[in-house]
Structure 1
Amino acid sequence: MDGIEPYWIWLAAGLVLAGLEMVVPGVYLVWLAVAALVTGAIVFVSAPPVMMQVVCFVFLALIAVFSAKRFLRDTPIVSSDPLLNNRVARMIGQIARVTDAIESGVGRVRVGDGEWLARGPDLAVGQRVRIVGGDGGYLLVEPVTLIADEGTAPPTA
């Protein structure tokens, strides 16, 4: 190429890929940027033919991507809210009201502003239930006793 050394092209490509990593969500382009920057350093030192430069970039990109994949897979992601995407688990312990009678173990309950399919003992419309778990798209419920509802202790003898 006239006037431009090949290593400058690789270094510029690496910087552009690193810049795009800031704009595009994910962790993909950074590894290609690393491969391009290392290829640029190799081309600066040894000046291989263009085909060897491309092969070097491809191998370095594969090594970087697979190394990162292995490293990131072994690193656990710690969340401040582990139930963030598990709506059923977030509802365990909440009180709901039966909207469609639970008959033969299946009915509907209202939780907040939504209705959910529910499984539990047969209950009439309007009864209050406590969510105790989930089974696929169903909430597992149990009836709430009057004493637990009022928050009072049972009478002593």
Structure 2
Amino acid sequence: MDGFAGLAPYWWWLIAALALATAEIVAPGVFLIWLGAAAAVAGILTALLGLPLLGQVIVFAVASVAGVYAARRWFQRNPGISPDPLLNDRAGQLIGMLVTVVEPIAADRGRVRVGDGVWNAAGIDAVPGETVRVIGAHGTTLLVERI
């Protein structure tokens, strides 16, 4: 059965698969590739079985859900190892750094200068101008000690 522009329906699925795979390469997100694979499955089954349009759409939908679900489970079980595990943990990156007290730290409250910013700090009592070391973090509050 000829589809739009004289192409058999399975060709449209295979073209869609190629377009989705290309979109994944251009804008990677590890999602479109699974929809592209589902479109390829729909195209191949349409070519082999001569599925009607409703059957094609159902195959595509089921293959899409199955592919995305399987990929999601695989990525949860096999997380990528980052070359910088603290990349999105700004407070964690500061551990060990020497910082300057800008507001007195008393009763576990104060402020320290980190680069061009100021962070809340808790720990030992310290006066402005004193240098302290970051030993940890609790949320956005740095835990500090004397050096």
Question: What TM-score, normalized by structure 2, do the two folds share?
Answer: 0.91
**Corresponding position of 1:6:** 9
Q: Kindly indicate whether residue 19 of structure 2 is the aligned counterpart of residue 38 of structure 1.
A: no
CA deviations on 1:96-143 (whole Å, 9 max, x unpaired) are 111111122211111222211101122211111111111111111112
CA deviations on 1:76-105 (whole Å, 9 max, x unpaired) are 210111111111111111111111111222
Larger Rg: 1
What is the rounded CA distance, in whole Å, between the counterparts of 2:79 and 2:27 in structure 1? 23
Q: Kindly indicate whether residue 92 of structure 2 is the aligned counterpart of residue 80 of structure 1.
A: no
- What is the DSSP-based 3-state SS (H/G/I as helix, E as strand, rest coil) of the residue aligned with 1:45? helix
Q: Give structure 1 stretches of 5+ with no counterpart.
A: 145-157
**Corresponding position of 1:55:** 58
What is the rounded CA distance, in whole Å, between the counterparts of 2:65 and 2:135 in structure 1? 47
**Corresponding position of 1:135:** 138
Number of residue pairs the alignment of both structures matches: 144
CA deviations on 1:30-64 (whole Å, 9 max, x unpaired) are 11111111111111111021111111111111111
What is the rounded CA distance, in whole Å, between the counterparts of 1:6 and 1:30 in structure 2? 21
What is the rounded CA distance, in whole Å, between the counterparts of 1:76 and 1:53 in structure 2? 33
Determine what percentage of the aligned residue pairs are the same residue.
Answer: 43
Aligned 1:86-97 pairs, distance under 5 A:
86-97=89-100
1:121 aligned to 116, 120, 124, which one? 124
Q: CA deviation at 1:24?
A: 2.4
What is the rounded CA distance, in whole Å, between the counterparts of 1:48 and 1:83 in structure 2? 50
What is the rounded CA distance, in whole Å, between the counterparts of 2:48 and 2:106 in structure 1? 78
Aligned partner letter, 1:16: A
